[in-house]
A = this chain, B = another copy of it.
Amino acid sequence: MKKVKIALLGLGNVGRGVWKILNSNKEEIMKRSGYEVEVAKILVRDKNKERGFEVPKEILTTSFNDIIEDDSIKIVIEVIGGIEPAREYMLEAMKRKKHIVTANKMLLATGGDELFERADKEGVMFLYEASVAGGIPIINGINESLTANKVERLYGIVNGTTNYILTKMDQDGLDFNDVLKEAQEKGYAEADPTSDIEGYDSQYKLAILSSLAFGTKIRVQDVYREGITKIESIDIEYAKEFKKVIKLLAVVKDNYGSLDLRVHPTMISETHPLANVNDAFNAVLIRGNAVGDLMFYGKGAGDLPTGSAVVSDIVSILRNNIDIYNLNPVVKNNLWEKEFYDINEIDSKYYIRLTVEDKVGVLGEITSIFGDMNVSLRSVIQKGLEIKNENKVTLVLVTHICKEGNVRKALEKVAKLDSLYKINNLIRMEDFE
């Protein structure tokens, strides 16, 4: 049996998963790759930290030089995350002709070009299946299985934390802040949850996925982004009335060469396959002009699922069945030139929740503003009850398909009405048509 030495940079959550899989599934990996994989070195900050699992002290090192200068190490696994020193370490390792496997979505989405260029120049492989949607092989799916298709749409639930929060709010009728607190206590959400709940994490992932799917370089700032912090229980109750659920959806649509790229809470039919993607599960649905709708579903995070994607990349490198030319330029260069939509230009249906004064004529005033802006209303719901005896009522409007810019202009006018207390929420509705 041939042997290969590899090194891990980082031994956090994902690093632990990789380490565990390489040990517990040693025989599978040997038979499938033809190699016995030896973890020769692991870069850590503190060699003496209590880790809760067994790892030989002698392979831990606090010095990156120990790894970079060991020519017997052929593959470096970057699972530190963040920009620096991950970027610097990977560039250095490639210079020494080491292949790279990374799970680093942030670096790929913001500074990927440099890494792909260096890999090309040095003739090493650079794989990143684990960077999006954990254990789901979506990168491989796009790069290898959708090659016969024009991709028309891509919809993803790619952030487990927000999906867990929305699932709990939906199933248990809890408020956002209560569920967030519970998620933090359970370790499903970080102490600073901004990256997840404000949609940044999904934005990175959509930039990576759509770069690959549409063969054009997409920057993070090309993706419109909204988080889930404005979703209240009452919105979820209305969604239920409409037989819908609310998901933080990453969406991209190719409209004759213009890409409509966005991440925002979205109401979708409760019978759609994405509606049953609950808790920390992720899913990506891709519509190709040949294959139709194709969905990949699985665990989007966690040490073992993410580790599974990292180790499958290691096996791919060992099998040497990656054609660098065909994988990397998709991200590095544009195969196609695309335009990008401004959020005002997109077409969608909208759910709009307002709090208004409970008096005669308000409804007519508001609906005529929407009419003036060419926003056709499908339904207007005013529940009979006042809010806390304060002479306020909730008004929910649902539009037909219209331009978002028109909706926004209408809401600007509505905001100036004396009878308006608050524009509580605007949630896009997706029919997947």
Q: How far is the CA of A78 from the CA of B291 in the complex (A)?
A: 19
Interface positions, chain A 272-310, Cβ under 8 Å from B, are: 273, 276-277, 288-299, 302, 304-305, 307-310
A81 CB–B CB distance under 8 Å = no
> Digit string of A131-157 for contact with B (CB within 8 Å is 1, else 0)?
000011100110011111110000000
* Contact assessment for B294 and A294 in the assembled complex, using a CB-CB cutoff below 8 Å: no
* Contact assessment for A34 and B291 in the assembled complex, using a CB-CB cutoff below 8 Å: no
Closest to A18 in B: B148
Given contacts A137-B294, A295-B296, 11 further A-B contacts (CB under 8 A): A28-B147, A28-B150, A34-B325, A148-B307, A148-B315, A289-B304, A291-B304, A294-B296, A295-B298, A296-B296, A296-B297
Q: How far is the CA of A345 from the CA of B304 in the complex (A)?
A: 32
A362 CB–B CB distance under 8 Å = no
Known contacts A28-B149, A319-B323, A322-B321; A273 and B298 CB within 8 A of each other: no
A316 CB–B CB distance under 8 Å = yes
Sorting the interface of chain A by its residue count into under 10, 10 to 19, 20 to 34 or 35 or more gives: 35 or more
Closest to A141 in B: B137
A sample of 10 cross-chain residue pairs with beta-carbon separation below 8 angstroms, ordered by A number, consists of A21-B149, A25-B148, A29-B148, A135-B292, A136-B294, A140-B144, A293-B298, A295-B297, A319-B326, A321-B323
A11 CB–B CB distance under 8 Å = no
A15 CB–B CB distance under 8 Å = no
Give A199 Cβ to nearest chain B Cβ, in Å: 24
Give A398 Cβ to nearest chain B Cβ, in Å: 25
For A311, list chain B residues within 8 Å (CB): 147-148, 290
A31 CB–B CB distance under 8 Å = yes
A65 CB–B CB distance under 8 Å = no
Closest to A305 in B: B291
For A136, list chain B residues within 8 Å (CB): 294
Count identical subunits in the complex. 2
Known contacts A25-B290, A135-B291, A295-B297; A335 and B31 CB within 8 A of each other: yes
* Contact assessment for B294 and A307 in the assembled complex, using a CB-CB cutoff below 8 Å: no
A265 CB–B CB distance under 8 Å = no
* Contact assessment for B145 and A290 in the assembled complex, using a CB-CB cutoff below 8 Å: no
Q: Which residue of B273, B297, B298, B326 is within 8 Å of A34 (Cβ)?
A: B326
Known contacts A32-B326, A148-B29, A150-B25; A305 and B290 CB within 8 A of each other: yes
For A295, list chain B residues within 8 Å (CB): 295-298
A24 CB–B CB distance under 8 Å = yes
A260 CB–B CB distance under 8 Å = no
* Contact assessment for B298 and A24 in the assembled complex, using a CB-CB cutoff below 8 Å: no
For A24, list chain B residues within 8 Å (CB): 289-290
* Contact assessment for A290 and B271 in the assembled complex, using a CB-CB cutoff below 8 Å: no
Known contacts A290-B17, A295-B297, A295-B298; A146 and B25 CB within 8 A of each other: no
* Contact assessment for A21 and B312 in the assembled complex, using a CB-CB cutoff below 8 Å: no
Q: How far is the CA of A34 from the CA of B327 in the complex (A)?
A: 12
* Contact assessment for A290 and B316 in the assembled complex, using a CB-CB cutoff below 8 Å: no
Give A31 Cβ to nearest chain B Cβ, in Å: 5
